[in-house]
Amino acid sequence: MRILFLGDLVGRSGREAAIAALPGLRQALRLDLALVNAENASHGFGLAPDMADALFAAGADVLTLGNHSWDRKEIIPYIARTPRLIRPLNYPPGTPGAGVAEVTLADGRRTVVMNLMGRLFMELLDCPFRAMAELLGRHVLGANAQAIVVDFHAEATSEKMAFAHACDGRVSLVVGTHTHCPTADAQILPGGTGYQSDLGMCGDYDSVIGMKKEGAVARFIRKVPGEKLQPAEGEATLCGVFVETDDKTGLARMIAPLRQGGRLSPTMPEI
């Protein structure tokens, strides 16, 4: 199975770049599944329903969220009726939406996409390790799922790495999101799980993690809250990772980063 996962969309720049690129990427990489973290798509904070609809129409199969899940309140009724939009699984019971999406391809292959959030330097949610272990008792790679993909939305690379090793051999791919800077450690772990500590963002990299530089820099220098941060609106770089899995085992056969457009050095998976 061929899967592309694009990192956090930040504002209009990242959102429009992803919408424009997804149809071509699906064709060029012969994708079976396109996944996108969209928690910062709406002006840098949250996701609006019309923007989710546009991403689905462009070819995204599942959208994931994170700590900005509820910044746009209108997403609450939308997520309740949209199973392909998921928020972190380890939010407390009763939180709107779901943390898992199941996608069955036209040929019958079944993929499970999971979204969890770390706790180190983040909100103290339920334990993601425990939530993941419980879920993997029901979704078994190579048995009732041909692929299992996890978006682990977390601040610390140590927690991301530990989480990936805890899942190694039981899921196809673990990707980190949230920090908006693509890491250079795309690899296949010893047990066969693909991994990258952070996908990076889809947005303008002439910025501070996607936000206009002036306001962000002033906050660090003056230590006085200023006007609300605004997304940078220059040309976006698309960042993500491509993985090809074995349909029998569900494990990763190859993994490669993707960077396209904007300021960062480009790289395209070779297939």
Q: What residue spans define the domains of the chain?
A: 2-260
Q: What is the pLDDT of residues 171-211, one digit of tens each?
A: 999 999 999 999 999 999 999 999 999 999 999 999 999 99
- Place 71 in a pLDDT band, splitting at 50, 70 and 90: very high
What is the pLDDT, as a whole number, of residue 271?
A: 84
68 counts as catalytic? yes
pLDDT at residue 52, as a whole number: 98
Write down the architecture of domain 2-260 according to CATH. Answer: 4-Layer Sandwich (3.60)
Question: Which residue among the candidates 68, 139, 153, 180 is catalytic per the annotation?
Answer: 68
| Res. 242 pLDDT band, cuts 50 70 90 | very high
- Would the pLDDT of 60 be above 80? yes
- CA torsion 180→26→195→270, rounded to 10°? -110
pLDDT (tens digit, 9 = 90+) per residue, 102-113? 999 999 999 999
Instruction: Kindly tell me if the per-residue pLDDT of 121 is higher than 90.
Output: yes
Provide the H-helix boundaries in the chain. Answer: 11-28, 49-58, 75-80, 128-136, 157-167, 213-222
